[in-house]
Structure 1
Amino acid sequence: MPETKKFSPPKQRAFDARFEAQKIAFGPVVFHCVRYAWKRGMLQALAEAGAQGITLDALEATGRWSRYALKLVLESCLSAGVVMIEGGRWQLDKAGFCLISDDITRINFDFVHDVCYQGLFELERSLDAGKPLGLAHLGPWPTLYEGMAELPEPAKTSWFAFDHHYSDTSFPDILPDVFATAPRRVMDIGANTGKFSRAALAHDARVELNLVDLPQQLAVADANLAAAGLRERARLHPRNLLDPAASLPEGMDLVWMSQFLSCFGEAEIASIFERAAACLADGGQVLVMDTFWDRQRYDIAAYCLINTSPYFTAMASGNSKIYESGDYIRLAEAAGLRLLTVRDGIGYCHSLLRFTRA
């Protein structure tokens, strides 16, 4: 994997660079105009018109939008490459097709709007304070994780759609990795709604799953496991892992963490790695699956991951981010773990790090 990513041509002309700078300056404006065109059906209307396009008069005649709204919004979409106009007829361009048909694009759009947008106004203060001060737009919790079960709509739906869309594509692919060493006692740290635990319990009838998370999250996982008829082989361990004194049950053959450590700052990750190492049985292993921006094949994936980090600052914890893989490896080694293998290309953008005690 390359050590760095390049997001623009290596010899970008000054004029082109100036245009790119203006796109950044007006980015929030374009975001809202494009969202209006998508959510209010303008883009779908252009898609249905097909290659012949449709006139502004015909769009106005539907009675769904005023002429003012049509001109203002479609012109902004035109500037962003979402639509195009030829001979007075508006058509959907390729970026517009992504918005109405590409799952990742739509899920990212909803996540940014419903979960992040208002809170990101507090990014500057959040960076200075090391606290998620933008979270107040969603609720009164010190971090988003305490309020996950109580998130208001549509933020709750958009958050879980974002989280699950990225993780669900990975779970079927990694179960052979999880059970490669035939573990009997598995710990799922950051169990959330119990999706991984359900998959693991269904995969191997002999395995015992130990779920670790905040009490309110474990209540959701508990109900989901019971509904799936898998509760008998599950053990629940309510823990606030921000408390360094919160120890973990010992004797684990395997500790699993998926999209979990990115919820914390480096000092907290180091502490969690130390406790994970301490709870392993002889020969036990720690498996960490996460989205590392430096291990992506394509710049588009690295771009999305890098720009997810400000959500963690303003909305989630105030001190976490999407990390480079080397950050986890360094912190794990300092906690007494040794890297065995790395596997990339899991699901959309995940990598799997396998550690054992040094």
Structure 2
Amino acid sequence: MLDKTFSPARQTAFDARFEAQKIAFGPVVFQCVRYAWKRGMLQALAEAGAAGLTLEALAADGRWTAYALKVVLESCLSCGVVRLADGRYALDKAGFCVLSDATTQINLDFVHDVCYQGLHALDRSLDEEKPHGLAALGDWPTLYQGLAELPEPARTSWFAFDHHYSDASFPAILPDVFATAPRRVMDVGANTGKFSRAALGYHGTVQLHLVDLPQQLALAEANLAEAGLSARAQLHPVDMLDPAAAFPAGMDVIWMSQFLSCFSEPVIASILARAVAALAPGGQLLIMDTFWDRQRYDIAAYCLINTSPYFTALASGNSKIYQSGDYVRLCEAAGLTLLTARDDIGYCHSLLRFGRSDARRSET
């Protein structure tokens, strides 16, 4: 996968130049397609069916001016969202995806509501490794301190994006989490408590320890209380950026889901060192994340690679969607050994299972 290319094997210079222009005008096309979706133009064409509608028919009910229709639909035409034949616009294949595919809609909302304005500061963010684009949403050192206070619609779109990619994976991995019959499980980066809630509901006696920032733990606590699961959950406020902030010890399983990608490699190394120190004898670390190099399909790798600039400009300034080898290397440096790797979980997740290297040596 590391030698992967997204270009066709035989691409002419003319075709390559066309692709380059798509890049140049990508932000323009994005806004026009989003307008056509949000303002109902695409839905009107979908309801008209294959016969389509003329501009005059679309403008007749007064929802859009003829000018707005021409500007927006011509842009949609250029990217395969609509087609034009005999003066009538009809929905094309990409347009059907925009209207019906939840992943496409969630990605569009996330990019527009969370990322778009902040990405204007990407150059400065890359140069200084600080999330300068975050100022478009609020005044926090990183996005994570402000998650509970994000303005709308950014807040809704952020949580929809985060949960869409993680929630579909939880039912599939719970047997993996409990394969070693753990009694104490620690959810590092608990966020809103979605995983902890699923784990507590799956196993009737397990004790869950949730580790995150105080603001996030407050959301998780409310969610667990709503489900009547608070009795077996303990909350541990920890600043992940503080290398002296230890994790509670004696854990049979430490779980991290879509978490380490929020940090730079030096911080990941610090987190992993604290995780190793918190493991009970025979304990294991399970990391579920979205590695672009372990995807079966180009579409997933494309989406994941292009999520990294969000981390740069808005989230932290120095994190990204990593390759799986980065995590393995950092885990080995922390004293862990990769035991198993499982791909194709949910939409695009992989699960890496690690044990302590010294435990592996003692077994042999």
- TM-score normalized with structure 1 length: 0.99
Query: C-alpha separation between the residues in 1 aligned to 2:270 and 2:306?
Result: 26
Deviation at 1:162, TM superposition (A): 0.2
Deviation at 1:335, TM superposition (A): 0.3
Deviation at 1:3, TM superposition (A): 3.1
| Residues 47-58 of structure 1: pairs in structure 2 closer than 5 A | 47-58=46-57
Matched positions, count: 357
Partner of 2:273: 274
Partner of 1:129: 128
Deviation at 1:227, TM superposition (A): 1.0
Letter of the structure 1 residue corresponding to residue 241 of structure 2? L
Query: C-alpha separation between the residues in 1 aligned to 2:247 and 2:57?
Result: 65
Query: C-alpha separation between the residues in 2 aligned to 1:275 and 1:12?
Result: 49
User: 1:262–1:322: 8 Å Cα contact kept in structure 2?
Assistant: yes
Letter of the structure 2 residue corresponding to residue 171 of structure 1? F
Query: C-alpha separation between the residues in 2 aligned to 1:277 and 1:299?
Result: 34
Q: Which structure is richer in relative contact order (CA contacts within 8 A, separation 6 or more)? A: 1
Letter of the structure 2 residue corresponding to residue 113 of structure 1? H
Partner of 1:232: 231
2:58 maps to 1:81: no
Partner of 1:303: 302
Partner of 1:23: 22
Deviation at 1:11, TM superposition (A): 2.2
Partner of 2:257: 258
Partner of 2:315: 316
Deviation at 1:62, TM superposition (A): 1.4
Deviation at 1:164, TM superposition (A): 0.2
Q: For 1:41-92, what per-residue CA distance to the aligned partner results, in whole angstroms no more than 9, with x for missing partners?
A: 0000000000111111100111110000001110000001100011111100
User: 1:5–1:299: 8 Å Cα contact kept in structure 2?
Assistant: no
Partner of 1:94: 93
SS in 1 for 2:63: coil
RMSD over aligned Cα atoms: 0.6
Query: C-alpha separation between the residues in 1 aligned to 2:5 and 2:92?
Result: 25
Deviation at 1:129, TM superposition (A): 1.1
2:179 maps to 1:168: no
Partner of 1:35: 34
Q: For 1:209-251, what per-residue CA distance to the aligned partner results, in whole angstroms no more than 9, with x for missing partners?
A: 0000000100111111111110000010000011000001110
Letter of the structure 2 residue corresponding to residue 14 of structure 1? A
SS in 1 for 2:321: coil
Structure 1 ranges of 4+ moved more than 2 A? 2-6
Partner of 2:113: 114
Deviation at 1:12, TM superposition (A): 1.1
User: 1:6–1:299: 8 Å Cα contact kept in structure 2?
Assistant: no
Give 5+ residue unaligned stretches, structure 2: 358-364
SS in 2 for 1:181: coil
Query: C-alpha separation between the residues in 2 aligned to 1:5 and 1:143?
Result: 32
Deviation at 1:206, TM superposition (A): 1.1
Letter of the structure 2 residue corresponding to residue 159 of structure 1? W
Letter of the structure 2 residue corresponding to residue 305 of structure 1? L
Query: C-alpha separation between the residues in 2 aligned to 1:300 and 1:247?
Result: 39
Q: For 1:276-302, what per-residue CA distance to the aligned partner results, in whole angstroms no more than 9, with x for missing partners?
A: 111100000000000000000000000
2:182 maps to 1:183: yes
Query: C-alpha separation between the residues in 2 aligned to 1:271 and 1:329?
Result: 15
Query: C-alpha separation between the residues in 2 aligned to 1:3 and 1:21?
Result: 23
- TM-score normalized with structure 2 length: 0.97
Give 5+ residue unaligned stretches, structure 1: none
Partner of 2:69: 70
Identity of aligned residues (%): 77
